Structure 1
Amino acid sequence: MTSSSRTGGGRRVVVTGRGAVTPIGADWPTTWASMVKGSSGIRVLSTVDTTGLPVRIGGEVLDLDLSGLPPKAVRRTDSSVHIALSAALEAVADANLVVDEALAPRVAVVLGSAGGPTKLSAAATRALDERGARGLSPYYFPGSGVDSAAGEVALHLGAQGPSVCVVTACATGATSIGEAARLIRHGAADVVVAGGVDDTMTRLDITGAAISRALSTRNDDPEAASRPFDRGRDGFVMSAGGGVVVLESEEHARARGARVLGELAGYGATTDAFHPTAPHPEAGPARRAMHDALAQAGLAPQDVGYINAHGTSTPLNDTTELRAIRGVFGSHATRIPVSSTKSMTGHMLGGAGAVELIVALESVLTGVTPPTINCDDPEDPEVNFVPHTAQEHRVEAAMSNSFGFGGHNAVLIARRWAG
């Protein structure tokens, strides 16, 4: 590692807070504890009428405590916004950050969503059909945009810097965090609240994904349905959830005496430009995103101690990602743990990459790598997919991969903070 690499071409970016809402936990500590235990959040759906649908399973966020959220915002917004606000408030509290009048102009929000407020739109459509114009809330139009979560978080925190919604399909959360880091590196903000969220658990979204042959149809065995890198995988499991981190410049974090969880050391982003849904078969652009993230961090492949894989449990994605990992890491690919926590959470779409960056950071902090459950017959037996049970490893730097429909690739690297 060179001294120049530690600046990443600009100011160093550190993580001082994190929050998450997932099917296996309503906050980050609960989510992490569930991951370490290998618990699955995939169930037969209880909040969606699945009558006649080919898929009846998913990862729902149930019983989220909304008492700490502004009541007016809860009434006028979608469930995805509730998740985003909950995760953001947890992250800000974790960072012990106070956004006052002096700091507000230097605080940005970069919060993405792949689907946006789909439940709100579905409910509004029903209300319009049943009751006419009187059935529609005056807040529907401003609340129906994909930027709703970013706007509500900025409004509630009083953040007056840039407020941005990023959309890169399944890579949204990771892209949001990577672009947030760029704002800090280049001096456009001192603090960024960044992440991703989705709650697309509707009849329309589930059916659409199912008929595109993207989803697992293992309806009779939900907890075994998400099985990344297993030869018996048959598709991903759609889930709700989101993650948010507080990023700060090193200087700002030091000046306020913040506890630093780790450094967001590297970010790489590319596009396959190959197919609307299928990944590039040679994985060239995905490999380049991984190389770019390593280069920005000033790391060699052998410096990475854990990879949180995109690992969706779809036949094409997992094979292609393995090809990319093998191509970048060479023989080191068989010496480090590579796990997919989607085996437990399902695929939270725009929220996935943000939660998985937090997972990578937690592995650096704790030396624990969470498992890939259901990986009974691994496609590549030489790779350590951390099957079934968490493992302990010394991790100085961890990589988190996110690859989305449309060919979006985003790779983040979290590194131990040495000051």
Structure 2
Amino acid sequence: MRLGGRLAAAIEVLEDIEQRHRPAADALKDWGLSHRFAGAGDRAAIGNIVYDGLRRKRSAGWLVGDETPRAIGFGALLLEWRETPETLNTTLEGDRFAPPPLSADELATIASRDLAQAPDVVRADCPDWCAPLLEQAFGADWVAEGAALASRPPLDLRVNTLKADREKIIAELAGTNAAPAALATNGIRIPPIDGSGRHPNVQSEPAFQDGWFEVQDEGSQIAAELAEAKPGMQVLDYCAGAGGKTLALSATMENRGQIFAHDVERQRLNPIFDRIRRSDNRNVQVLAGPADLADLEGRMDIVLIDAPCTGSGTWRRRPDAKWRLNRHQLDVRRGEQAMILDTAHANVKPGGLLVYVTCSIFEEENCDQVAAFLARRQGFEPVDHAALWERHFSGRAGVARIDPARGISLTPGRTGTDGFFFAALRRSG
């Protein structure tokens, strides 16, 4: 397929997403199943246009002067593919599978607009109702942080130190531009893709099949590192899901002690069993039901809550979720987070840590949630988060947003990671 056919297909997928309010991954999968003639390169390019369009939906539509899937598809190519209106129209001419080229009115609109002069909410590429939440979180930097959340993400890997080291894996991935991560001690980063490119399928690599590494955002790795799990400890990963942080903590503990992986939604735990077998993590026990936690009350050195949240910190990877999110969903998540904190804290032993993590950038899910818990519950005090950060990332204090008494925030704009929040609370008695 030529670019025109790929653009037409991307517009078709964007229309499907808009009309049926469905995840982008599902719409792209269905398109591929009904257009089996499209090769892997075509599907990757179409997916890139779709995801670029969703990330840059506000700015793409503003540039072209409309909010239709067509305008968003064209705008994505202009903003992210280094196309100009002239080169794009030239490319589309004579391609019978292409959408109609940019009209005279569209060309005039594009020529008259400078994105640097666009409204703040357009440059931040966020829904109107989220703008105050970004400003609350980032102050004067909110537009830049919103724009960073609309950029293409890298591919991050975590070295499984039970089986390999970083240099060995980077050598195995020669040709992928893999390099050490900027912050995470055991992180590897493959840069964002360009244009119609696609990330390497690292999960097909023998090194992945042998359990040498896992795919995990650097921010998630940093959160696991800051938890400071040590060999011999008793650790509960209360909302373990697919087990990414469980495996990271297990490796840090060198397979000594115990880590209990729990999730109230049993099906979310399904991937963890294969991951445990592949990675040689031997100190993990999987607990699915609430009754299984009864024996852990007051015994854990660390209880990690990777709380259900809006996922606003992952908008680079799941941009369609940005436009489906609403205020009611945020309020539901806040209620769930408070309930989990009020339940899970009972498993922390005196002197132990309650670690609260989200992949959200919203203060209401982060610092505000921690402050509300401390107001409700006696016997917990925040650790010195500035000192904690310095222990692990000496000399990099200006990178993360750190409130010594409230927590640590990671963002694409400052740390180059997904958006994450981390807070550690020590139980005094």
TM value normalised by structure 1: 0.27
Whose radius of gyration is greater, 1 or 2? 2
Structure having the higher helix fraction is 2
**Normalised TM-score (structure 2):** 0.27
